[in-house]
Amino acid sequence: MKQANTATEITHSNSLQAVVTDNTDQQKKLQQLTDTAWSFACTALWNNLEFSSRETSTAKDKIRSVLQSGDMEKSFLAFCQRVLLARHYVSKNPGHYIPLPSVWLDETNKRGFAGTESWYNRVIDMRQSLPSYKQEVKALAEAILELSTEPSNANYQYWRSYFIDHRSPGLLTLFQQAAVQQLYH
């Protein structure tokens, strides 16, 4: 009986350790994706600005909330695409701008990140009929994710060639800037 209790205790202890390890791995993954999403958003929207540690921390907390709202990688890909949609909007509409990250990322700000949800949903709807609709936007999000999880020269060269082959010089430049920020900042 004592051996059975010991075996049960060991099994229970191993199960708890597996849960703790899994939770720790999930937290590390969440932190990595949050840092990568922040770096990408900064590069895409505020490339020439330096923010205080308080502003950065607040923005990262808001990004973390977005990433935790579902599957982290899918949320990350959607986040990056929405950042790109906002970048495109501002570049095509003179007089519009992206405010401070903490303001833009505020979930109640319908003129900020929250407002890009309907744009993103329209893109997703269009992809039901036209699978390659805004494909390069999706590809850039995937490139950033892949480079963050497996930062290698082969990945960099693959995605660089992809954007060259698809004649997307603006996204190529943004990819290169984001890669440098991610790897060396």
Q: How confident is the model at residue 62 (pLDDT cuts 50, 70, 90)?
A: very high
State the average pLDDT over residues 116-120. 96
- CA pair distance 182, 33, nearest whole angstrom: 11
> Within a 10 A sphere around the Cβ of 83, how many other Cβ atoms?
25
Average pLDDT of span 19-46: 90
Structure tokens at 103: 């303001």
pTM: predicted TM-score of the whole model, two decimal places: 0.86
What's the confidence (pLDDT) of residue 141?
97
Instruction: Categorize the per-residue pLDDT at 5 as very low, low, confident or very high, splitting at 50, 70 and 90.
Output: low
Quote the CA–CA distance of 41 and 99 in Å, as a whole number: 12
Q: Is the pLDDT score of 16 beyond 60?
A: no
Model pLDDT, residue 13: 55
What sign does the dihedral 43-47-52-55 (CA atoms) show?
A: negative
